[in-house]
Amino acid sequence: MRLPARRHALAPESAGRAPVPGGRPGRRGGGHDPRQRREAVPLVAAPRCRFGSEQLVPNHRLPTAPGRKLGEILAETIENEIIAAGWKVGDVVGSESELCERYGVSRAVFREAIRIVGHHGVAEMRRGPGGGLVVVAPSVDAAVRTVSLNLEFLDINAAQINDARLALELSCVQSAVENLDADGERRIKEFLDTEIERIITGREAGRACDDYASNDFHLLLAELTGNPAMELFVQILSRVTSRHSTRAVSLEDTAKEVHRAHARIAEAILDRDIDTAQRRLHRHLDLVVEYLNP
């Protein structure tokens, strides 16, 4: 459906506007488009909104790109504006009608764009008071699954995955040791004290293979680096490693074996011995790949 405002949506922005040819005079400022009065106020009036009139400029011109749908372009535009505004979770970007008018698009195009934005975990539509398009925090799980599926599509093998994982996790070990403090030492020790029990309990609770095979230790080391990017990519590569498994594991035996390997790596980390910790981690990951892919 094409909105009546579509013909004027791409007009140049200015402080004042010329009379609209053929337009119906308003009660004030005769000869001008009555919508001009509404454009003088912020598009979003919700108290928690940070997207004021400076960001949400009425009649915004969308970029064009050959071969791309308008909904995709609008989704990218909205995402870029949210990022530029500082990605403030909870901010209201605008209502459906306000944003359709702003970008000069139909509701069908807008809803396709919001479907994409929602899939990316950037914003979602909410009903009721204070509702509209609301900025949200992205889901790490969604990002992990999306990248994992892309790696699957590339048809990479277990050895290639392990090479990438080694490059990343060996760096994690060094960074974790360099940043290790008393709290980090406590977290490592507490983790090892309950690891076997948590692996088995997790399996009994129906956790996925990549979880109960105990990638949790590797995720802990990534957290201790203080680098969220390392943590995210360790999650991704850990999950892909498990997806490439061609062998079912014996839970109790595997839990004990994995725990012993982790304990030896942790021992070297607590001793601040980077070389030994990296060597033990290298051996551990090689054995995991050999075991899961005989």
CATH number at residue 62: 1.10.10.10
Range of the domain at 17: 4-135
In this prediction, residue 60 has a pLDDT band, given cuts at 50, 70 and 90, of low
Which among 169, 168, 145 has a CA at the least distance from the CA of 243?
Answer: 145
End residue of a domain, out of 94, 120, 135: 135
Residue 273, token pair as written in the block: 């011995």
* Higher per-residue pLDDT: 78 or 40: 78
CATH number at residue 247: 1.20.120.530
Q: What backbone torsions phi and psi does residue 124 show, to the nearest 5 degrees?
A: -150, 155
Spatial distance between the Cα atoms of 74 and 109, rounded to a whole number of angstroms: 8
pLDDT at 156: 83
Type of residue numbered 46: A
In this prediction, residue 38 has a pLDDT band, given cuts at 50, 70 and 90, of very low
Residue 103, token pair as written in the block: 């970008």
Question: What mean pLDDT is reported for the chain?
Answer: 78
* Higher per-residue pLDDT: 170 or 290: 170
What tens digit of pLDDT does each residue of 211-221 get? 444 588 999 99
DSSP structure class, residue 8: G
Are 169 and 280 members of one domain?
yes
End residue of a domain, out of 135, 161, 189: 135
Are 147 and 23 members of one domain?
no
Spatial distance between the Cα atoms of 101 and 123, rounded to a whole number of angstroms: 19
Report angle CA 77, 78, 81 to the nearest 5 degrees. Answer: 85
Q: What is the pTM of this model?
A: 0.65
* Higher per-residue pLDDT: 152 or 56: 152
pLDDT at 271: 98
In this prediction, residue 238 has a pLDDT band, given cuts at 50, 70 and 90, of confident
Are 178 and 88 members of one domain?
no
What tens digit of pLDDT does each residue of 152-205 get? 888 888 888 889 999 999 999 999 999 999 999 999 999 999 888 877 676 554
For range 223-242, the mean pLDDT: 89
What tens digit of pLDDT does each residue of 40-52 get? 333 333 334 445 4
* CA atoms in the 13 A half-sphere facing the CB of 176: 34
pLDDT at 245: 63
Type of residue numbered 249: V
Are 79 and 130 members of one domain?
yes
DSSP structure class, residue 21: T
pLDDT cut 90: percent of the chain above it: 47
Burial (CB count within 10 angstroms: exposed 0-12, middle 13-18, buried 19+), residue 195: buried
Number of domains in the chain: 2
The CA-atom distances, in angstroms, between 199 and each of 43, 203, 222 are 52, 6, 19
End residue of a domain, out of 95, 115, 135: 135
Residues 6+ apart with CB under 8 A from 97: none
The torsion defined by the Cα of 38, 43, 46 and 48, in degrees rounded to 10, comes to -150
